[in-house]
Amino acid sequence: MSEKKFRSGFVSIVGRPNVGKSTLLNRILGEKLMITSDKPQTTRNRIKGIHNVPGGQIVFIDTPGIHRAKSRLNKFMVEEALSSVQGVDLILFLVDGAVDPEKESGMIKEVLSGVDAPVILVLNKIDLIPKGELLGRMSCYGDTYPFKEIIPVSAGTGDGVEQLVKLVHGLLPEGPCYFPDDILTDVPERFIVAEIVREKIFRLTHDEVPYSTAVVVDSFKERENGVVAISATINVERESQKGIIIGKKGDMLKRIGTQSRQEIERLLDTKVFLELFVRVSGEWSDNSRMLKEFGYE
């Protein structure tokens, strides 16, 4: 009896903003690794999530949402997403199942033009699709592009996700174990900490403030008593945004800090002392030097 082959490879998750890419990856990993919110353009960088299955390893790449970019930051985000469809073994193209397929066809054809890797269309949020419309929508997408498969899922409830993972694993080539089997991502803890703080800003503030925010971890040290002391700076573009982040008598900054600290403690499994500062870095999202400083170029 022949030995079962080990399959592994890199799988890019792409799609418009707010279609559930990060939620799907968190669901697959069984851990909250990617930040999420109900606002579009939450994810800014490509982030690898490593998922081990019996007989294989899947390296998922979460990407920023594809949108019409104006600022340097947005252009960086779109370039991150578009470049991720090259040099991978498989692509998951995520769409919002509640959106009319005809509105997505042009973007799908544009993004996948010249792509060599097989593509699975993942029809997300099927819990929001009226009964009786699912098969029609799948058929409509099938006329758009020669997808390897079209899989309906709900990243929010987990419906169909296990089937998707099994399909992905079966389509990967024979390969090595790229990462140790006890890690979830290749990004450093400092990066994840900064993302957690940024997520809390997304969830607790409104309007343009989250999009004008960049978080930089200035120091990350473990003390002799085991407490991890973290200092981070929240960069915004205008004084008015700084006022919103700080809040009346520092109330908003305290809420951001408390919720961030609690999640970071769960991540690190230890006590955390978190100190947050707010700085105005005028128009940083259109400044190439600052973008590089903040890790976006």
Q: Is 21 annotated as a binding residue?
A: yes
Q: Is 124 annotated as a binding residue?
A: yes
Q: Is 63 annotated as a binding residue?
A: yes
Helix (H, G, I), strand (E, B) or coil at 94: strand
Q: Is 269 annotated as a binding residue?
A: no
Q: Is 250 annotated as a binding residue?
A: no
Q: Is 58 annotated as a binding residue?
A: no
**Chain centroid to CA 13:** 9
Q: Is 40 annotated as a binding residue?
A: no
Q: Is 186 annotated as a binding residue?
A: no
The H or E element that residue 151 is part of is strand 149-152
Q: Is 19 annotated as a binding residue?
A: yes
The H or E element that residue 233 is part of is strand 228-236
Q: Cα dihedral sign for 109, 68, 296, 182?
A: negative
Q: Is 66 annotated as a binding residue?
A: yes
Q: Is 125 annotated as a binding residue?
A: yes
Contact (CB, 8 A) for 201 and 256: yes
Q: Is 20 annotated as a binding residue?
A: yes
Contact (CB, 8 A) for 288 and 256: no
Q: Is 45 annotated as a binding residue?
A: no
The H or E element that residue 215 is part of is strand 214-222
Looking up tokens 């890797």 gives 117
DSSP string, 177-195: --S-TT-SBSS-HHHHHHH
Q: Is 235 annotated as a binding residue?
A: no
**Chain centroid to CA 166:** 21
Q: Is 15 annotated as a binding residue?
A: yes
Residue ranges at the known binding site: 15-22, 62-66, 124-127
Residue ranges at the known binding site for GTP: 15-22, 62-66, 124-127
